[in-house]
Amino acid sequence: MKRKLFYCILCIFPVLLGFQTSFEADANVRLKSVFIYNFTRYIDWPSDYKTGSFVIAYFGKSSKVIAELNKMALSKTVGTQKIEIRIVTKLSEIGKANILYVSPDVETPLVDIIKTTKGKSILVVTENIGFAKKGATINFVIVDNRQKFELNQANAEKNHLKVSSSLLALAIPVTN
């Protein structure tokens, strides 16, 4: 009797077995972080920016990008410099930084951000249409479903940043 009952119970493959429900995390976050790390390898900062920590300032609301950048900072360096991720919510908090990543949710006008970074060797990285023309050096854009980046070499030069030809070759060039 017990055996018969056993067979009855096992007569059907469990319906749930036919379904996967494991979803991978957001892929774009890692890509942006990898891009940012790569920028540090293809751009040369003036010597006074090569001492102390290599500061990546993140301007914007808390996001998954910060977590990924922090993860990167734990295992990577820029030359001999340790990477420091600084989260800023006001322009006055930027201070001396190597990279300023401006999150797309930031409401502060770009012109004000550029004024704040003027004369400093800060690589301004944005993520809004047209920002590379308006003062940012690198601007993330979407082209053919892919994350790409525009590069304004003139803006880089203004901030005394030397961009390697390899990076220029991979970027979408933008002029003022």
Partner 1 sequence: MEKYKLYNLRFLFFLLLILICSPIVNAQSSVIHYDAALNYMQKNNVDSAKIEIDLHMQNVDVQLDPENWYLEGFIYKELYKKYENENFNSPYRDKSLNSFKKSFKLDTVIARTKTTKELIRYLAGRFYNDAVLTLDSLNYLTSILCYEQYRDAALILDSILDIKKKDIEFYLALGTIYVEIYNSDKIKNLQFFNLTRDTYMKILNWDPNNYAANYDLGLLYWNKGVHLMNNIDYELNLDSVMQVQNYSVSIFKESLPFAQKAYEMEPKREETLIVLSGIFYSLNDFPKSKAFDAILKDLQKEK
In the complex, which residues of this chain contact partner 1 (CB under 8 A)? 6-7, 10-14, 17-28, 30-31, 33-35, 37-38, 42, 72, 75-76, 142, 144-147, 166-167, 170
Decide whether 34 or 111 has the Cβ nearer to partner 1. 34
Decide whether 38 or 103 has the Cβ nearer to partner 1. 38
Decide whether 37 or 158 has the Cβ nearer to partner 1. 37
Residue type at position 155: N
- Please state the closest distance from residue 94 (CB atom) to partner 1, in A: 24
C-alpha–C-alpha distance, residues 74 and 37, integer Å? 12
Decide whether 57 or 151 has the Cβ nearer to partner 1. 151
- Please state the closest distance from residue 145 (CB atom) to partner 1, in A: 4
Token couple for 17? 């077995």
- Please state the closest distance from residue 168 (CB atom) to partner 1, in A: 11
* Number of C-beta neighbours around residue 39 at 10 A: 22
For helices 64-75 and 27-42, angle between their N-to-C axes, nearest 10 degrees: 50
The answer to whether 96 and 121 have CB atoms below 8 angstroms apart is: no
What DSSP state is assigned to residue 164?
P
